[in-house]
Structure 1
């Protein structure tokens, strides 16, 4: 019987993995320019971290987590998102006590959610995200939004929409919370079972319900923007003014909420408006949070971040027809004819690789013509031919596969010659 990959997972094979590598390298370089440093956290954590850090009322905690007991009887969970783990590390390692603040992290790694698999949404998926902890300056919000937009724009995407909202501070949220309960309570029995629970636990999340989105009460729900106090209004205005200064376009959506229970002030999503992208248009989302660091045992610390799915990023690139500038060809292909030439070719291949040249060779005992065909299929820029005559003359035949030009180069000089040819003599 054959064994397949579990439902909701995928193999990323050569031919596709190069796109992942390119995208991840571009994102890493972007974070370097913004002075965000990489953090790597465990793939599984104590379940309590996500219950407290993501929120008991969220769909992630209630329905989607991969949770199990380890051999010691401890409940552990495969991480469903990155923020809680980053905050736990920030607290555990007392990073909040270091002099250089805010602390700015980025991460790239697999996450796990038990969802219905569909295009661009897997049960194991790769997430890129950033977190800036230790400052409540609205300029940090604008910086995070700029980095998020640049993540897509620098890869060539154009059909993008940045959607903003303010969830206000704790006082504003509490006032809005009461207004939401008063508004939806008469319709409680008409709402789905999840929303009936949310109405008591976190009524803001009723606005994010997929089942009840068409209910007439949704369109008439009180907007958080109507309940912002002066501090929250001023905070939001500053964020928008910084975006205006940078020339970053955005639209305001008062119904935009985020799944994390501890979000406040700035909340945002980036959406694809590309034709054919799919019904689910959201590419990434994030926002500011206060209380999360305290919830996992640290001091009161404000933070902001966002996360994106690499799978959905690649889908957006495909939808817009963006061709990534991948160099999938091979620098050199080594052709060896004869037993002694084979030994010399093994040594020379090793020396070229040590010098940074990408080289491959035949390992199936093919004839010379078949080896040249293999080199052509692999997109080799040069073919190096070494036979008994060349070995006797202490030379190797180098063929430029683009121009067809051939040269004999001494074996002592071929490594330097190939480096010069491939780098343009730099």
Structure 2
């Protein structure tokens, strides 16, 4: 019978990998708690119209990459290709914003895009998403960027750079769009096929083309920064000053436009030189019109997302390998001893210790080898003799020192046992 395998573009995150993922998530959770961000958990699928309206029908995400299907009720449903639109829908539907209030939210979970799988990029991928809603103050921009930088540095990343740009407001973008159409139209025949289509629908996306010939033409295109209004320029100047005051390095990249239509004003990407062609590990920006566009009140907002596949790939390259070793490994042989081992293991777990119990029933020698490989500090040994006398052998795996203790006495001295385990690490 043929073995069923995972679909292309998906992968199993195996037990040897999950400690790294858990460490990243717990580090982010603790940092965001200290910054007053609260977790939200929207669903994985939404009405297709949410993403068509929110992301933009002319984007590659909506046009080429969404997993869309009709459910049994005849509704068009889409697995979320990104998190922000669904989060905004949840905010609007549950009336989480109030006049003059600031809402700080975060979420971590999977999203789905039908694109070519490659290192650090899957069709089911995971994002950490952070959003600040309700403030158009440039300090909000600086805050979310500073949190992203702080998180990446806390995780041990050092070779990071940041591209920063302003895509202005809606009127700025329209003027720039007209300028791009006027510039690229005489070169249309020399553009790649996707860029020719984008010229009519979304000319800003031509600046993101990976086609070498199109890139060469785009280098001579007008700069978005020349089309900013005075208000947009003042906002951008203040964001840059705040980042400088915080000691956060950046470079202005007027070609950075990001891939989704809802961005306004600040756009940024943080890259790592260790990721090769897929250098971006965090990206985001302002989206002051999205909340109203999806039926809510006029509400400014800014946020970012970190791709966890890329981030964990980078951390592996840097030999970051957090482990969660067992405290105690329990070996036993003989019916009575095995029953005592089960009771003792569960009692130690209830007391807060991490305990693995050998279930093989094999010879003690084989069980001891597994105990050594487990990474536990202490091995508890129970055989027929210990079961008869209600004792247990304690073997410290780092030194090989072994002592005997009554089972009840061991359970009555768990605080001391915990201290000894910590000392043995």
Instruction: State the TM bucket, normalised to the shorter chain.
Output: over 0.9
The Cα of 1:172 is off from its aligned counterpart by 2.0
The Cα of 1:220 is off from its aligned counterpart by 1.1
Between the aligned partners of 1:203 and 1:132, the Cα distance in structure 2 is 29
Between the aligned partners of 1:327 and 1:226, the Cα distance in structure 2 is 51
- Matching of residues 27-426 of structure 1 within 5 Å: 27-97=28-98, 101-211=101-211, 214-274=214-274, 277-319=275-317, 321-324=318-321, 326-415=322-411, 416=414, 417-423=416-422
**Contact in 2 for aligned 1:135/1:303 (Cα 8 Å):** yes
The Cα of 1:39 is off from its aligned counterpart by 1.0
Q: Alpha-carbon deviations, 1:171-222, whole Å to 9, x = none?
A: 3222222221221122223323433332233322221222366444301111
SS at match of 2:241: helix
Q: Normalising to structure 1: TM-score of the pair?
A: 0.94
SS at match of 2:344: helix
Between the aligned partners of 1:214 and 1:192, the Cα distance in structure 2 is 6
Between the aligned partners of 2:313 and 2:383, the Cα distance in structure 1 is 48
Structure 1 residues not aligned, in runs of 5+: none
Q: Alpha-carbon deviations, 1:100-155, whole Å to 9, x = none?
A: x3111111111110001111111111111111111111001001111111221111
SS at match of 2:235: helix
The Cα of 1:159 is off from its aligned counterpart by 0.8
Mean Cα deviation higher: 263-272 or 188-197: 188-197
Q: Alpha-carbon deviations, 1:75-112, whole Å to 9, x = none?
A: 0001100000110001000001377x311111111111
The Cα of 1:337 is off from its aligned counterpart by 2.9
Between the aligned partners of 2:300 and 2:98, the Cα distance in structure 1 is 14
Between the aligned partners of 1:110 and 1:375, the Cα distance in structure 2 is 36
SS at match of 1:9: coil
Q: What is the aligned length?
A: 420
The Cα of 1:295 is off from its aligned counterpart by 1.5
The Cα of 1:233 is off from its aligned counterpart by 1.1
Q: Alpha-carbon deviations, 1:220-260, whole Å to 9, x = none?
A: 11111111121111101110111111100111101111111
**Contact in 2 for aligned 1:156/1:322 (Cα 8 Å):** no
Between the aligned partners of 1:329 and 1:13, the Cα distance in structure 2 is 16
Q: Normalising to structure 2: TM-score of the pair?
A: 0.95
**Contact in 2 for aligned 1:157/1:322 (Cα 8 Å):** no
Distance 1:213 1:349, change over 3 A: farther
Q: Alpha-carbon deviations, 1:283-314, whole Å to 9, x = none?
A: 12110012111121101111111111111011
Between the aligned partners of 1:413 and 1:125, the Cα distance in structure 2 is 50
The Cα of 1:393 is off from its aligned counterpart by 3.4
Between the aligned partners of 2:332 and 2:278, the Cα distance in structure 1 is 54
TM-align CA RMSD: 1.7
Mean Cα deviation higher: 116-125 or 215-224: 215-224
Structure 2 residues not aligned, in runs of 5+: none
**Contact in 1 for aligned 2:191/2:214 (Cα 8 Å):** no
Between the aligned partners of 2:418 and 2:43, the Cα distance in structure 1 is 40
SS at match of 2:287: strand
